[in-house]
Amino acid sequence: MATCHSLRSVDSELVGDPLDLKMFEFTKWSYEEGTQGGGGSMNDAEQGSLRPSIARPPRNAKSIFEGNGNPPDASFELGVLKSFEFVSQLRRASVIVRTFGQQSGDVYVKGAPECMRDICRPESFPSNYDELLSSYTHKGYRVIGCAAKHFKKLSWVKAQKMTRRDVESALEFVGFIIFENKLKPTTTAVLHELMDANISSVMCTGDNILTAISVARECGLIDKTAHCFVPTFTDGDSRDPNAQLRWESIDDHQYELNERTLLPIPAPAENNLCLPNDMKSLRNYSLAVSGDVFRWIVDFASPQVMHRMLVTGKVFARMSPDEKHELVEKLQSIDYCCGFCGDGANDCGALKAADVGISLSEAEASVAAPFTSRVFDIRCVPEVIREGRAALVTSFACFKYMTLYSAIQFTSVSFLYASASNLGDFQFLFIDLALILPIAVFMSWAGPYPELCRKRPTADLVSRKILTPLLGQMAICVLMQAIAFIAVRQQPWFQPPIIDPGDEPNIENSENTALFLTSCFEYILAGVVLNAGKPHRLPVAKNWPFMATMVIALAVTLYMVLGPVNVLRE
């Protein structure tokens, strides 16, 4: 616990994996990196290479080591001669350490309990090893297995020549390190908020599958009253294309799934309220898949099994970084918009592959993720979804407004060209600077609505849902300008514009004024109609800059209609 970790000292502060940090803090030992010091009979060069990292126990724990040949006042120090970093495929890490002043050395290994069988001597395991492991994982604890090996004589040179296979073999199983997986206060509420919005959540972790299921049920990711089925290999392994899987409920082994369809056996009749409770619970069943089974299904299973696993799977445990990455890609392959939220180096690939990647760490994962949360819990996920939906709706609203603005102005100019007229320079400036610019800017100032809606905004710009109302609004605007153009010509005071034989357009005429004022009202009303509010953005009434712009623009336009001053008349 004091030496087998990935911690580093930066500005006299330990940084690294949060689990390693908690484990080391529990020991109350001190840790120094890159310290040169005495001890033993080695020369200076050996000392510099031998002691890149030193671990010391607390002062009140010195007496524990006095019986190992150390005098009562000797300072006890463990030097790390060589370390093998954690590898996700092996699921373990190891170190070679030696007590300064002694010739003996030790190897310490920690990793997944499942891998301890491969590297430890069989007689070193307690008879109830599997029962203990199952008991701890069913309670939701995170379990790490520990093993050790002692060398009576170990030099620095010999330690440097040792390979990982030499170090991690013929070990003595020492015991378990148990961590309690405490849920953060916001986790359950956030998951329920996502479920209410019809957004499915999946757990993808490197932990033990039973631990993951326990945590998933505690936070509401898996229905506590429903069956959760876990697959195991009955014949072969993940590399065998002819391997056989058996899907059993972890709550009651008599319930199984059909290995070809992943449907319960027997399948419950729909809408039959007379079924016993244990049969009803099969309807909302979920799957928990380990990394080796996931690999076999991806490589050898039928597309039907793959699709059913992706749709029904709620927990993916013992997943390597590559498998996490592949899970995201497989979910995207069935047309899921996939977001991933992670906090470790093992999540970098999945964060990069996801449509939306959110890092809960300022370390390695933040480099690969488009978003990094300052609050290290999942409450940022609904916030990103709300902001994203609001931004999408805003972008579409601005696009439709600018499209409609172009259509309105094109219609005005087209009608005026029929009379050898056009809008004046001041009119163009007034439309662009006094109306369009502030309306388009303040239209985007509305924030996201505080509640997630089950209905998603459309993401297709060229779709019937977008184009149909836009074309309808264009038709209405053209119709209103046509009515104004025809109506003004039928007035008794109407005088046809004088056509200049030159190229100068006749701007000062009744048709120009009528179409200009009509189009100004259309620009204002289009901003109100196209400025979307609920369910993805705050209501228009709460966008105070936009409302103020609308009131001022409407007041100025009405003033020009009812009684403008001579400057405006001219």
Per the CB < 8 A criterion, the answer to whether 329 and 237 are in contact is: no
Count of CB atoms situated within 10 Å of the CB of 127: 7
Regarding whether 555 and 542 lie in a shared domain, the answer is yes
Regarding whether 461 and 561 lie in a shared domain, the answer is yes
Q: How do beta strands 53-56 and 313-317 pair? A: unpaired
Per the CB < 8 A criterion, the answer to whether 220 and 188 are in contact is: yes
Nearest Cα residue to 424 out of 509, 366, 499, 498: 509
DSSP string spanning 135-171?
A: HHHHTTEEEEEEEEEEESS--HHHHHH--HHHHTSSB
Q: What is the pLDDT of residue 73?
A: 46
Task: Tell me whether residue 154 is in a domain.
Answer: yes
Domain that holds residue 201: 188-315
Task: Tell me whether residue 383 is in a domain.
Answer: no
Provide the CATH number for the domain around residue 366.
3.40.50.1000
**In this structure, what are the phi and psi dihedrals at residue 432, rounded to the nearest 5 degrees?**
-75, -45
Regarding whether 365 and 419 lie in a shared domain, the answer is no
Per the CB < 8 A criterion, the answer to whether 169 and 277 are in contact is: no
User: Quick one: tokens of 5?
Assistant: 């970790």
Mean pLDDT of 178-190: 88
Predicted confidence (pLDDT) at residue 361 exceeds the cutoff of 60:
yes
Strand, helix or coil at 337?
coil
Q: What is the pLDDT of residue 459?
A: 84
SS (H, E, C) 429-469: HHHHHHHHHHHHHHHCCCCECCCCCCCCCCCCCCCHHHHHH
Provide the CATH number for the domain around residue 119.
3.40.1110
Q: What is the pLDDT of residue 45?
A: 47
Regarding whether 266 and 124 lie in a shared domain, the answer is no
User: At 42, is the pLDDT very low, low, confident or very high (cuts 50, 70, 90)?
Assistant: very low
Task: Tell me whether residue 3 is in a domain.
Answer: no
Regarding whether 293 and 229 lie in a shared domain, the answer is yes
Last residue of a domain, one of 298, 315, 332: 315
Task: Tell me whether residue 2 is in a domain.
Answer: no
Strand, helix or coil at 285?
coil
Regarding whether 410 and 548 lie in a shared domain, the answer is yes
Count of CB atoms situated within 10 Å of the CB of 74: 16
Mean pLDDT of 34-46: 44
Mean pLDDT of 273-297: 76
Regarding whether 170 and 58 lie in a shared domain, the answer is yes
Q: What is the pLDDT of residue 274?
A: 44
Task: Tell me whether residue 413 is in a domain.
Answer: yes
* Whole-angstrom distance, CA of residue 264 vs CA of residue 262: 7
- pLDDT tens for 423-474 read 889 999 999 999 999 999 999 999 999 999 999 998 888 888 889 999 999 9
Regarding whether 305 and 235 lie in a shared domain, the answer is yes
Per the CB < 8 A criterion, the answer to whether 533 and 446 are in contact is: yes
Last residue of a domain, one of 378, 398, 428: 378
pTM: 0.80
Q: What is the pLDDT of residue 38?
A: 36
Whole-angstrom Cα Rg for the chain: 35
List of residues 6+ apart from 26 with CB closer than 8 A: 1
Regarding whether 338 and 302 lie in a shared domain, the answer is no
Q: What is the pLDDT of residue 156?
A: 82
∠ CA 309-310-311, nearest 5°, is: 95
User: Quick one: tokens of 171?
Assistant: 């070990």
Mean pLDDT of 511-537: 92
Last residue of a domain, one of 180, 211, 235: 180
Regarding whether 215 and 143 lie in a shared domain, the answer is no
Task: Tell me whether residue 466 is in a domain.
Answer: yes
Regarding whether 85 and 110 lie in a shared domain, the answer is yes
Regarding whether 128 and 218 lie in a shared domain, the answer is no
Instruction: Give the chain's domain count.
Output: 4
- Out of 180-184, 263-267, 271-275, give the one with best mean pLDDT: 180-184
